[in-house]
Amino acid sequence: SYKPGAPTTTEGFSLLPVNHNSFGLATAGNPLPGMGMGPPPPPGMDDHLAKIDIEVNESLVGAVLGPSGRSIVEIQQYSGANIQISKKGSYSPGTRNRVVSITGPNKSCTTAQFLIEQRVAEEEIKRKNSTASQLNLGF
C-alpha cells in the first residue's frame, strides 16, 4: 500500500523519498550531480589555491567595484576567483590604498589580478585625459 512521503520500492529496490521543496538544492538523499562522484582532477598547476593581495588607491576603488558592484562581479565570474576589498578607512599601513585580496586557483587569481590592474589603469588614463581637456578648455 502507498503512503505519501514514505520511501517507495520498485522491483525490490528501495528508493529514497523525493523532496519536492528543494528548488534544485542538494539534499542528503538527492545530491547535486557531480558532488562526491568521480575521481578528483589530476594534480596540476591550476588546482593550487593562491592568495594575491594588491593595493588600489582609495580614489580608484570605485573603478574596480563599478556601478552597483557590477565590475567586481564580472571580474569574479570571468576569472573564477573570489575578490574581497578592505573596508572604507581600512588601508595598507602608511598609505591611502585599500587592500584587494584575490583567492582561488592560481590561474583564476592571476586572471583577476590582470583584470583589476587593467580597470585601474584605464581609470587613471581616463582621469588624466579629462583633466588635460579641462585645462585646455580653460575650465
Looking at per-residue pLDDT, the higher value among 3 and 120 belongs to 120
User: Tens digit of pLDDT for each residue in 97-136?
Assistant: 999 999 999 999 999 999 999 999 999 999 888 877 766 6
Nearest CA-CA partner of 117 in 63, 49, 58, 51: 63
User: Tens digit of pLDDT for each residue in 65-85?
Assistant: 999 999 999 999 999 999 999
**Which residues, 6 or more positions from 14, have their beta carbon under 8 angstroms from its beta carbon?**
7
What length does the chain have? 139
The x, y and z cell numbers of residue 9, run together, are 520500492
Measured on CA atoms in the order 28, 33, 37, 39, is the torsion positive or negative? Answer: negative
Per-residue model confidence (pLDDT) at position 47: 62
Per-residue model confidence (pLDDT) at position 5: 54
Does the pLDDT value for residue 23 go beyond 50? no
Does the pLDDT value for residue 7 go beyond 90? no
- Name the DSSP class of 9: E
Does the pLDDT value for residue 25 go beyond 80? no
**pLDDT, the chain, mean:** 78
Nearest CA-CA partner of 117 in 48, 55, 38: 55
Percent of the chain with pLDDT strictly greater than 70: 62
Q: Is 117 exposed, middle or buried (0-12, 13-18, 19+ CB in 10 A)?
A: middle
Per-residue model confidence (pLDDT) at position 48: 84
Looking at per-residue pLDDT, the higher value among 32 and 117 belongs to 117
Does the pLDDT value for residue 1 go beyond 60? no
Q: Reduced to 3 states, what is the DSSP secondary structure of residue 6?
A: coil
